[in-house]
Amino acid sequence: MEIKVQGELVPAALVQLGAGEEIFCEAGLMVYSDPSVRLAIRPFTQGGLGQVIRRTMVGGLPFFFHVYQGPGYAAFSRFAPGEVRTLELAAGQTVDIAEHSLLLGTNTVQYSTFYVAGTGRIGRMVGFWMDRLTGPGTIAYHGHGNILGFDLKSGEAIDIDHGALLRKDANVNVRAFNQPLGGGLTGHAMSFEALHVEGPGHLELQTVDPTNRAGTQG
């Protein structure tokens, strides 16, 4: 299997599938494909019915994936400006990808999700889901705007905007917190929601918040 990144402004991942090879992705990402490529679906039932309903009805994550089976080619895009990167996962290697950022994964990649709790404030920081992917296999993912990479040592930390989080190693810890704007009751009342990220591990950020493209504080 070969994966190439096409385009610059609104990139796509072009996959060349051999006979018997397959990839999975969310619905609605395919740009074009070879007529010889077959399409199937793969239900996602991790965590039982209650968690599936919460994840799909509230979180907006897919109930099933589209599966593309070779031989042939197919191209996939998030239909938005940014960067597309591929990552070869070793056996047992696990990374976390922000929701609705994964473009595709090969069929050997194990897929699950987990929930990052919010601060309880009224607003967007009610919590969010991340995709958890474990190798062996290859994934491709989309970052809105530019992708910035950081290697955090043990105990090193960085505070980031919620929409900036793109990818992290599974052992990198992330939690939501309220950032006061000054001291006293006024500073607390005007606080905004952010994420505290702590190493060790690799972290990647995106420079455009896909949920807030106008650039205003949510």
pLDDT digits (tens, 9 = 90+) for 122-173: 554 577 889 999 999 999 999 999 999 999 999 999 999 989 999 999 999 9
Alpha-carbon span 133 to 166, nearest angstrom? 13
What confidence tier does 113 reach under pLDDT thresholds 50, 70, 90? confident
Closest to 97 (Cα-Cα) out of 19, 25, 200: 25
Mean pLDDT is lowest, of 14-18, 105-109, 179-183, for 179-183
Which segments of 18-99 are extended strands (E)? 22-25, 30-33, 38-43, 64-69, 72-76, 82-89, 94-98
Cβ neighbours of residue 169 closer than 8 Å, sequence gap 6 or more: 94, 95, 96, 201, 202, 203
- On whether the CB atoms of residues 165 and 124 are closer than 8 A, the answer is no
Residue 190, pLDDT > 70, answer no
Q: How many residues are given for the chain?
A: 218
- Looking at residue 115, what is its pLDDT? 86
- On whether the CB atoms of residues 76 and 29 are closer than 8 A, the answer is yes
Cβ neighbours of residue 125 closer than 8 Å, sequence gap 6 or more: 118, 119, 162, 176, 193
Residue with tokens 């060790």: 200
Residue 6, pLDDT > 70, answer yes
Alpha-carbon span 137 to 36, nearest angstrom? 23
- Looking at residue 214, what is its pLDDT? 43
CATH level 3 topology of 2-206: Double-stranded beta-helix (3.60.160)
Residue 120, pLDDT > 90, answer no
pTM: 0.85
Read off the amino acid at residue 105: G
